[in-house]
Structure 1
Amino acid sequence: MDKLRRIEALFARPGSEGERVAAERARERIQARLAQLASEEPPVEFRFSLADQWSRHLFVALMRRYGITPYRYRGQRRTTVMARLSRSFVNETLWPEFLELQQTLTAYFDTLTDRVIEQALEVKAGEAEERPPAPQLEPVDHQLDIAALGGEFGRS
């Protein structure tokens, strides 16, 4: 939680006037770099596919923070985010910062999820224990053949 607050203080909403000014100057430097790269290296359309809504929300917010307009075309999946950017900006600034923020956000969500589960169910959360493979296990098919049961579910 503290690490997330530090990142938020650095990138999103600084507390003191000095921190606000420093964050604004950093954002202005990045936007100036973006403009410089756009004149040197024409922007190309990028398609980003993000696995979950949290990553997508974070990525879209990060782009908007730098004055980039994210979009998607009608018919594209919600996991898709499009943007016109210079390749250098994506490789050197946007994607590395996103990965760092995503890693921190994921760790925060993992910790929060475990804490909520442990408080609500009063048991230890986390992964199942890993054991060595049992000798000579035959694969078991647990699929239910509805037709073999002689009916359909949901019929009255």
Structure 2
Amino acid sequence: MRKDLRSGCPINLSLELFGDRWTLLVLRDIVFGGARHFRELLGGPERISSNILADRLATLVEHGLLTRSGDPSHKQKVTYSLTEPAIELVPVLAQLSAWGVRHLPATREYAARAEVLTAGGPRLWETFMDELRETHLGPGARRRPTPDGPAVAALLRLDGPP
């Protein structure tokens, strides 16, 4: 955590963590793209450089938004997992997406995901967050029973139509 914070204002503190060009995009690719490994994140649509990605991942781990676990048989195979505070960003990402669709020239692929998130509202966000909990925090981490029907994550993927 930076020691030279501007103030204790919660908006300022959030911007100190998320206010750079890449941090929320890295989280977006993990949340909506299902990326869990460095190489997967490196291949994102904005083409982040490897040194910036390594820095952002380290920052997210340091701030408790991601955990990092290694494969003992393969030292370079690291898996990143969301923590509960990162999963709780889903409503923020949904609102940010909705605002972007309304006010900026978003591409159809990304606008479609934002529209699904907006139409589904908090109920869909909670279901999706539970799916993320199960994937990243482990079985039994859901807060609500498994819904009938297709997984919400499949509707929100970056790599396919929603």
**TM-score normalised over the length of structure 2:** 0.25
**TM-score normalised over the length of structure 1:** 0.26
